C-alpha cells in the first residue's frame, strides 16, 4: 500500500513538473517573439554586432546577415560607430571580430568607425566585454544587432550589466528559424537559471563562470 502511495505521489510530482515546464517554455517563446516584433531601429552612439560562426576566414552566411543589418544602420545614420564582438572559435585562425571588421571595411565603412572586441566566447561576454570599450570611447547608448530570436536574451543580459541598449533584429534567409528558436528557449532558460543561482555576481563575468559556459552553438 505504501509503495502504491509513493508511486502516485511521484507520478503527480512528475505531472506538475511537466506542466510547469510547458508553461515556462510557452512564456519564454512568447517573450522571445515579443521582443523580436517590437525591436525597432533608433539613433544611438554605437551598434554592437554580436558574433557568430566564421567559415574559414570569412563570416558565415548567418553572420553576414547581422553585418548587413549593421551596415544599414550605419549607412542610414542611426549610429556613427560599429562595435564588432567575437573571439577566436575552436580551430579558427581569425577572430570573429577581425572577420567582421574586414567585411565591413570591404563594404565601405572606414576603419576608424569600427571598434573591436576580440575575446568574447558567449553572448554575455559579447556585452560584458563591449561595455568598457564603450566607456573608453565615451559611448553611452548601443543598438544590439543580432537575429530576432536572439534579442530577448541579449537585451536581458544588457539590462543586467546596466547598459543602455536597444535591440535591432535581423531577418534570416539562411537559418532554420524554428530550430534556432527552440534552442533559444533552452538558452534563455539557462540564462534565467544562471541569473537566479548567480545572485549579485552577474555584473562581474569572471565572478560567476557558470554563466559563460554556453555551448558555442548556443551563444
Give the cell for residue 152: 530577448
**How many other CB atoms are there within 10 angstroms of residue 76's CB atom?**
10
CATH of 36-213, one of 2.60.120.260, 3.40.366.10, 3.40.50.620, 3.30.360.10: 3.40.50.620
Domain boundaries, the chain: 36-213
Strand partners, 84: 49, 116
Give the cell for residue 104: 565591413
Q: What is the mean pLDDT of each run of 10 residues along the chain (219 residues)?
A: 64 80 89 94 98 95 98 98 95 95 98 97 96 98 98 96 97 95 94 76 42 42
Please tell me whether the overall predicted TM-score, pTM, comes out greater than 0.75 for this model: yes
- Angle, alpha carbons 51-36-169 (nearest 5°): 40
What pLDDT is stored for residue 164 in this prediction?
Answer: 98
What pLDDT is stored for residue 11 in this prediction?
Answer: 79
Amino acid at each position: 500500500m505504501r509503495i502504491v502511495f509513493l508511486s502516485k505521489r511521484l507520478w503527480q510530482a512528475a505531472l506538475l513538473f511537466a506542466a510547469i515546464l510547458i508553461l515556462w517554455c510557452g512564456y519564454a517563446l512568447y517573450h522571445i517573439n515579443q521582443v523580436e516584433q517590437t525591436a525597432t531601429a533608433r539613433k544611438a552612439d554605437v551598434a554592437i554586432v554580436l558574433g557568430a560562426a566564421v567559415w574559414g576566414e570569412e563570416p558565415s552566411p548567418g553572420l553576414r546577415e547581422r553585418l548587413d543589418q549593421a551596415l544599414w544602420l550605419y549607412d542610414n545614420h542611426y549610429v556613427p560607430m560599429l562595435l564588432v564582438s567575437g573571439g577566436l572559435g575552436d580551430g579558427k585562425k581569425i577572430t570573429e571580430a577581425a572577420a567582421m571588421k574586414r567585411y565591413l571595411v570591404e563594404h565601405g565603412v572606414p576603419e576608424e568607425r569600427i571598434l573591436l572586441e576580440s575575446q568574447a566566447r558567449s553572448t554575455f561576454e559579447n556585452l560584458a566585454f563591449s561595455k568598457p570599450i564603450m566607456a573608453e570611447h565615451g559611448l553611452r547608448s548601443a543598438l544590439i544587432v543580432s537575429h530576432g530570436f536572439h534579442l530577448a536574451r541579449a537585451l536581458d543580459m544588457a539590462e543586467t550589466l546596466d547598459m543602455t541598449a536597444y535591440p535591432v533584429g535581423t531577418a534570416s534567409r539562411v537559418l532554420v528559424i524554428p530550430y534556432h528558436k527552440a534552442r533559444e528557449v533552452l538558452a534563455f532558460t539557462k540564462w534565467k537559471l544562471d541569473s537566479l543561482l548567480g545572485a549579485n555576481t552577474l555584473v562581474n563575468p569572471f565572478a560567476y563562470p557558470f554563466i559563460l559556459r554556453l555551448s558555442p552553438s548556443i551563444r
